[in-house]
Amino acid sequence: MTLHEENYSLLKTVEWKDNKVVMIDQTKLPNQLVFVTFDDFNQVADAIKKLVVRGAPAIGVSGAFGLALASLQSKAKTKQELLEDLKIAKEILFKTRPTAINLAWGLEKIMNVANSGNSVEQIKTLVINEANSMAEQDIETNKTMGKNGSELFENNDTIMTHCNAGALATVAYGTALGVIRAAKESGKIVKVIATETRPVQQGSRLTAFELKHDGFDVSLIPDTAVGYAMANGLVNKVVVGADRIVRTGHVFNKIGTYQVATMAKQHGIPFYVAAPLSTFDMKSNAKDVIIEMRKGSEVTGIGDKKTAPDDIKVINPAFDMTPPELITGIITEKGVAKPPYEESIKKLFEDT
């Protein structure tokens, strides 16, 4: 299948088909559209680690599907044995990436359902059904979030986004890009500026690709041009996704988000975050959140091409923290939280 044969917006990033997990291999985009099929939860864990699937909601659902595979792989004869096997699989899946809370959320949800079953067969069915309904719910949540957020945008806005919080970061539709999609669907003309997002280039490889494919007016800029774009009036608003939001409104998202938010503040440009409630961590403090550190080769080269001297020391954090004072609003499926965030975030959960 070539990229152009497909209506991209209808494709699912991750899906359960014939008792297997099917994913788009995002490491191959934008040059090839390749689907990979897994029947072993260890393969799913490996795919999460290697960014075959990435983006907080997508890895949450992938973790859930991983446990569904683990339940089918298990040779357990009793409920207790099956729960033990699932627990081992859960630990392996959980250890793949530390920052996005959606992974823990997805795994926990499946474990709770598994615990509620009576027999081995019933647990397997419950686990598979729950993982599938999480995948369906993800799309619905994104659409509701999109509608809530689209009202914050005006006709002829140019919206900057960082990394990929699109269809490819979720099961479909996207969070930050879902909001932009919904603004367009509501009849507004919107343009998008996508940052390249070094080192892994989710912005150029995924966001620019996804939006261009779906007919958006999108321009790609290097990360270093964020200040230029804002200072020269090229941007009206910013919307990004999140990997974890703590109850104080501190937002953890792709490395570079903090720079974009700081620059937006400097230029008086509204800076929004779009994320489902599954991305909120109401227990941790901002200082306790683990920032994933990735291998140096992501920085010392682009693809296979080496762009740095041999043996150079590298610092490669995958995420950073944006403090609440830089954030204009947090768009969720339950509405838009505004400062002070301790109160407005608490309220989102009280109403659920």
Catalytic residue positions, numbered = 243
Characterize 148-174 residue by residue with b for buried, 16 or more Cβ atoms within 10 angstroms of its Cβ, and e for exposed: bbbebbeeebbbbbbbbbbbbbbbbbb
Question: 147 and 176 in contact (C-beta within 8 Å)?
Answer: no
Nearest residue to ligand MRU by CB is 241
Separation between Cα atoms, residue 69 and residue 52, nearest integer Å: 17
232, 258, 259, 260 from 227: Cα distances, Å: 8, 13, 9, 8
- Compute and round to an integer the Cα radius of gyration of the chain: 20
The per-residue DSSP string of 127-164 comes to HHHHHHHHHHHHHHHHHHHHHHHHTT--TTEEEEE-S-
Beta strands in 157-231 (DSSP E): 157-161, 190-195, 217-221
Cβ at position 61, least distance to ligand MRU in Å: 11
At 85, list the tokens.
Answer: 């096997």
Separation between Cα atoms, residue 39 and residue 65, nearest integer Å: 10
Give the residue carrying structure tokens 């598979």: 128
Residues forming contacts to ligand MRU in the complex (CB under 6 A) are 54-57, 100, 163, 165, 169-170, 175, 202, 241-243, 253-254, 318
